[in-house]
Structure 1
Amino acid sequence: MLGIVVSEASRYLRAAPFPHLTTVKVSSLAMVAGAEARLVLAQPEMSWLGWLWLALTGLFAWGVVLCQADALSRYREFQRVRRMLSRHGFCPRIFRLVASSRCQRDAALLAARETGCRAQAKRVFRELGYRWYHILPDAIVANPLCFFHPRFLRSTFIPGKGAKHF
């Protein structure tokens, strides 16, 4: 039982390394900003600087929530791709659907590794022109403001058939 929990936790971490690393960094920023807010707000006189630190703490805490939502989405995507590969075998079309961001490619590569077709999946991504340094999603590279578009957010946080790739 404990082995299964540890195995799934390991998969959860490996399916989305970038969101988890970003969570650690943003958590650190939230703790520092929170400590600063506490120090400034503990002063006898009220200061706008304390409220600024408090607002930053809230923004960083929201960043942690978003990073973990993204990590959970990547884990669900890993499970979905692994099921498809187990059921149908290797199909390049599966990997073309998840090639638009580094996080999706990481999740798909983990699924391919577990089903025995990692080399083929890496070859598909390489043929599509993706390298290790392509981190940002294609939609963000094309238009940085599309991050705030509902369709982009839906395709990021709700993987599957219903989510349209932006």
Structure 2
Amino acid sequence: YMLNISIQHGNPYWIIFWVSFFLFSFVHIFLTIMDGWSRFQDYKKAKDLFFSYGLHPRVANRFIGSKCQRNAALQAARELGMESELKKYYSEKGVKWFHYIPYFMVQDPWFLIRKSFWKRTFMEKYYKPRYDFRNIVLEVVA
């Protein structure tokens, strides 16, 4: 509606503003969906790795980089009964509850131009779980 009004009035500044606003909105929605996809892949990896190796520092450190990755790992650990140990480990490593900004963003101000950022954050490959946890639970219950 606002873009249409700006076009009718012919004001190029408002037209550019509203086009930019709509493009940002579209890109933001897409990136949010892709970030959710990537964190789900992290969750599946974390659950498989915790199930296979237990709460090993190399496994836990793989997901320490950002709040979203830690949340994915914590959910996987919660489902395997290791949540309190993982929280304690992250606390010992200096992770605080208010550490929302990923550590690599603070350490590397040029992260936006790095291929690894885009690949790890938004374009994580599909991860096929090694274990079928639904059947494992049914076997334990039966």
Which among 36, 39, 46 is matched to residue 10 of structure 2?
A: 46
The 5 A counterparts of 1:110-149 are: 110-149=75-114
Choose between structure 1 and 2 for higher RCO, CA contacts under 8 A separated by at least 6 residues.
2
Structure 1 length as normaliser, TM-score?
0.67
Task: Describe the SS at the equivalent of 2:101.
Answer: coil
Q: Distance in 2 between matches of 1:121 and 1:84?
A: 13
How far apart in 2 are the matches of 1:159 and 1:116? Answer: 26
User: Is there any run of 5+ residues in structure 2 with no aligned partner, and where?
Assistant: 126-142
How far has the Cα of 1:124 moved from its partner?
A: 1.1
Q: TM-score with structure 2 length normalisation?
A: 0.78
> What is the SS of the residue equivalent to 1:144?
coil
1:68 paired with 2:36, answer no
Deviation at 1:96, TM superposition (A): 0.8
- Per-residue deviation at 1:77? 0.5
Following TM superposition, where does structure 1 have runs of at least 4 consecutive aligned residues deviating by more than 4 angstroms? none
Give the fraction of aligned pairs with identical amino acids, expressed as a percent: 26
The root-mean-square deviation of aligned C-alpha atoms, in Å, is 1.8
* Unaligned ranges ≥5, structure 1: 1-34, 161-166
Counterpart of 1:47 in structure 2: which amino acid?
N
Q: Which has the higher Rg, Structure 1 or Structure 2?
A: 2
How far apart are 1:82 and its partner, in Å?
0.8
Distance (Å, rounded) in 2 between the aligned partners of 1:148 and 1:108: 27
